[in-house]
């Protein structure tokens, strides 16, 4: 701006300057007040945001824990993997929430109960390895001491090929070639036989895979060898005596096998819990662990079951987290011989709670008491086994013996009285009479459960139909007919068709007087939309029968039975199967 322009502006009076100053002061004060209000609002919003994020973090953690509880109840194999993913997701959400506030994680989120239980159980299994290893070392087994002691710090090494081979040799009374060469040199191989190399099937095995057996007169051959050092001779003879002692039927050899089986059980279970995402539970709980339990309890054929043995087995079973896995181990015992089956029934009846108590008692009685013409069991043997059960279970077992149909009723009654007297049980006969007075609803459930079991076992269709007819004649009402229908649809479609065709015919060849009414109910239910899924399965089975053989007797009989019950339903069924309507 030039000087002439400045000179042309009028001078501002003092009054104007004072007036504008007051206005400017008011505006500054108003701006300061608004700034203070905005700061207070920002603090309030930040506080609300922090509360919101904190609430979100906590609620998400509660939601994850709730999902973990639900997932842990699902009948799937990789529950541990799903739970771990949920926990990792929860940790990531917590980190994001904390990052929004530019703060730090105050404390780690609490782990779900399933993971805490899993970690506690794995630690308990690791702690149980050391006492078992120390006991094997004390018993002077043929296994290498350094190998056993290494299992305490590295339990997973139990499944390495070298240790698996050493364990197999321990069971069979053999030794690995690599151990002999390492401890005694290649010259010591002259005292052993190669059990692996075979000219036809395995001509060139790997050196570390070769297994050796002791030659005949091993001790004499070692002592006569002049080129072998004295220390090596003593070592070879000591190893030979250990192997022979572990193969004998002595109490010391039996104890070695029991401790080794216990160690195998612990390490197998620990490996499963460490690798749940890759280990199949069926292979562990239905094959490996039952074999270890049988070896621990029945390492010698002449050994009777006793309370300490069962207590040790139950301690091992307590390491298993899921009850269904424990029942899987027990149910897969006894597939080889009688004593193992006795062990299975005893463990099942000692469990808490007992699954299907009535069935368990009946099966144990069937195992203990053979039918004629086999001799009845000895009283003392029976009493010694029942002493391994609690008093309440003893009473139930004696009552089951007295009410069983395995032998003549008088014989079993006398046997039950004698057992009760030996066990010091009183009031057995009164309890048996009271047990026979079963409520109608319970009795009906037991009868139909037995028929369902026979259907699922695919027994002869005529026998199953006879059992259904017998029950319906004993008690004929709406509930019984409904139970018979529910029992039938649990079978596969082919079994259903066969039983359906047999239902009307009595053994004499005549028609059952109740058959027509019952078959009408069955056909009506079969075509009802409530049972559409089962109806489609039956139609598919009939269609396959028609394609394979249009003149199939089973197919034609079934269609004739449906027409006998309801002609309109038979026409509809024939149309869907693709066959001509029955004449």
The model carries a pTM of 0.62
Cβ-contact 182, 166 below 8 angstroms: no
Q: Rounded mean pLDDT of the chain?
A: 83
Predicted confidence band of residue 141 (pLDDT cuts 50, 70, 90): very high
Lowest pLDDT segment from 51-65, 353-367, 498-512: 51-65
Asked whether the predicted pLDDT for residue 289 surpasses 90, the reply is: yes
Predicted confidence band of residue 386 (pLDDT cuts 50, 70, 90): very high
Predicted confidence band of residue 132 (pLDDT cuts 50, 70, 90): very high
Question: Which range is most confident: 161-170, 334-343, 495-504, 539-548?
Answer: 161-170
Q: Which residues contact 205 (CB under 8 A, 6 or more apart)?
A: 196, 197
Predicted confidence band of residue 518 (pLDDT cuts 50, 70, 90): confident
Q: What is the largest CA-CA distance in the chain?
A: 143
pLDDT at 318: 93
- Domain boundaries in the chain? 16-100, 115-254, 440-577
pLDDT at 572: 87
Angle at 124 between CA 123 and CA 130, to 5 degrees: 95
pLDDT at 227: 84
Span 341-363, mean pLDDT?
86
Q: Residue 174 and residue 212: Cα distance in Å, rounded?
A: 6
Asked whether the predicted pLDDT for residue 121 surpasses 80, the reply is: yes
Asked whether the predicted pLDDT for residue 78 surpasses 60, the reply is: no
Lowest pLDDT segment from 240-249, 441-450, 461-470: 441-450
Nearest to 361 by CA among 416, 300, 418, 441: 416
pLDDT at 193: 93
Lowest pLDDT segment from 47-61, 150-164, 321-335, 477-491: 47-61
pLDDT at 23: 76
Span 200-227, mean pLDDT?
90
pLDDT at 297: 85
pLDDT at 107: 47
Predicted confidence band of residue 86 (pLDDT cuts 50, 70, 90): low
Predicted confidence band of residue 101 (pLDDT cuts 50, 70, 90): low
% of the chain exceeding 70 in pLDDT: 84
Q: pLDDT tens for residues 300-316?
A: 544 578 898 899 999 99
% of the chain exceeding 90 in pLDDT: 28
Asked whether the predicted pLDDT for residue 432 surpasses 80, the reply is: no
Asked whether the predicted pLDDT for residue 368 surpasses 80, the reply is: yes
List the end-to-end C-alpha distance of the chain, in Å, as a whole number.
120
Asked whether the predicted pLDDT for residue 83 surpasses 70, the reply is: no
For residue 467, report the phi and psi dihedrals to the nearest 5 degrees: -65, -40
Nearest to 396 by CA among 350, 440, 441, 442: 350
Span 197-225, mean pLDDT?
90
The sheet that has 175-176: what strands, in order across it?
175-176, 211-214, 192-194
Predicted confidence band of residue 88 (pLDDT cuts 50, 70, 90): low
CA-based radius of gyration for the chain: 40
Lowest pLDDT segment from 39-48, 98-107, 116-125, 425-434: 98-107
Q: Residue 468 and residue 479: Cα distance in Å, rounded?
A: 13
pLDDT at 265: 96
Span 80-109, mean pLDDT?
61
pLDDT at 435: 47
Nearest to 385 by CA among 339, 426, 331, 352: 339
Asked whether the predicted pLDDT for residue 95 surpasses 80, the reply is: no
Q: Residue 559 and residue 413: Cα distance in Å, rounded?
A: 50
User: Which burial class, exposed, middle or buried, applies to 4 when counting CB atoms under 10 A from its CB (0-12, 13-18, 19+)?
Assistant: exposed
Helix (H) or strand (E) holding 518: helix 515-526
Residue 572 burial (CB count, 10 A): 14
The more confident residue out of 322 and 136 is 136
pLDDT at 156: 93
Q: pLDDT tens for residues 562-577?
A: 888 888 888 888 888 8
Span 362-382, mean pLDDT?
87
pLDDT at 578: 84
């Amino acid at each position: 701006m030039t000087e002439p322009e400045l000179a042309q502006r009028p001078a501002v009076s003092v009054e104007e300057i004072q007036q504008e100053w007051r206005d400017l002061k008011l505006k500054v004060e108003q701006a300061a007040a608004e700034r203070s209000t905005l700061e207070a609002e920002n603090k309030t919003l930040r506080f609300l945001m922090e509360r919101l994020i904190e609430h979100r973090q906590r609620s998400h953690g509660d939601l994850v824990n709730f999902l973990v509880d639900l997932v842990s109840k699902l009948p799937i194999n990789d529950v541990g993997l799903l739970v771990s993913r949920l926990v990792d997701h929860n940790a990531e959400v917590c980190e994001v929430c904390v990052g929004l506030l530019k703060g730090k994680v105050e404390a780690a989120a609490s782990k779900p109960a399933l993971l805490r239980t899993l970690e506690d159980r794995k630690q308990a299994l690791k702690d149980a390895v050391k006492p078992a290893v120390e006991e094997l070392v004390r018993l002077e087994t043929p296994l290498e001491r350094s190998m056993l002691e290494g299992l305490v710090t590295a339990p997973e090494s139990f499944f390495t090929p070298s240790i698996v081979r050493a364990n197999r040799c321990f069971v069979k009374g053999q030794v690995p070639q690599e151990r002999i060469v390492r401890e005694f040199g290649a010259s010591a191989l002259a005292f052993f036989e190669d059990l692996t190399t075979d000219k036809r099937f395995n001509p060139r095995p790997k050196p570390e895979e070769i297994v050796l057996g002791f030659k005949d007169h091993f001790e004499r051959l070692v002592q006569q060898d002049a080129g072998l050092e004295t220390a090596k001779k003593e070592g070879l003879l000591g190893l030979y005596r250990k192997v022979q002692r572990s193969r004998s039927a002595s109490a010391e050899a039996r104890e070695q096998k029991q401790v080794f089986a216990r160690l195998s059980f612990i390490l197998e279970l620990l490996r499963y819990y460490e690798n749940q995402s890759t280990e199949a539970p069926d292979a562990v709980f239905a094959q490996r662990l039952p074999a270890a339990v049988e070896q621990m309890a029945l390492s010698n054929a002449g050994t009777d079951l006793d309370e300490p043995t069962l207590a040790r087995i139950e301690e091992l079973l307590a390491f298993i987290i899921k009850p269904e896995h424990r029942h899987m181990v027990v149910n897969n015992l006894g597939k080889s011989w009688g004593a193992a089956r006795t062990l299975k029934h005893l463990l099942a009846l000692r469990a808490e709670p007992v699954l299907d108590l009535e069935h368990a008692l009946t099966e144990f009685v069937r195992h203990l008491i053979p039918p004629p013409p086999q001799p009845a069991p000895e009283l003392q043997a029976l009493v010694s086994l029942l002493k391994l059960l609690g008093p309440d279970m003893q009473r139930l077992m004696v009552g089951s013996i007295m009410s069983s149909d395995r032998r003549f009723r008088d014989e079993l009654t006398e046997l039950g009285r004698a057992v009760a007297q030996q066990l010091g049980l009183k009031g057995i006969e009164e309890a048996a009479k009271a047990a026979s007075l079963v409520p109608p609803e319970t009795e009906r459930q037991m009868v139909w459960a037995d028929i369902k079991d026979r259907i699922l076992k695919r027994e002869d269709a005529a026998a199953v139909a006879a059992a259904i007819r017998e029950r319906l004649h004993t008690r004929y009402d709406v509930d019984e007919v409904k139970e018979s229908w529910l029992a039938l649809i649990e079978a596969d479609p082919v079994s259903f068709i066969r039983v359906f065709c047999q239902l009307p015919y009595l053994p004499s060849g005549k028609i059952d007087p109740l058959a027509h009414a019952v078959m009408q109910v069955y056909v009506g239910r079969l075509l009802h939309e409530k049972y559409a899924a089962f109806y489609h399965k039956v139609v598919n089975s009939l269609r396959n029968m028609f394609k394979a053989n249009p003149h199939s007797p089973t197919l034609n009989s079934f269609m004739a039975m449906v027409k006998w019950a309801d002609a309109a339903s038979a026409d509809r069924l024939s149309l869907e199967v693709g066959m001509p309507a029955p004449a």
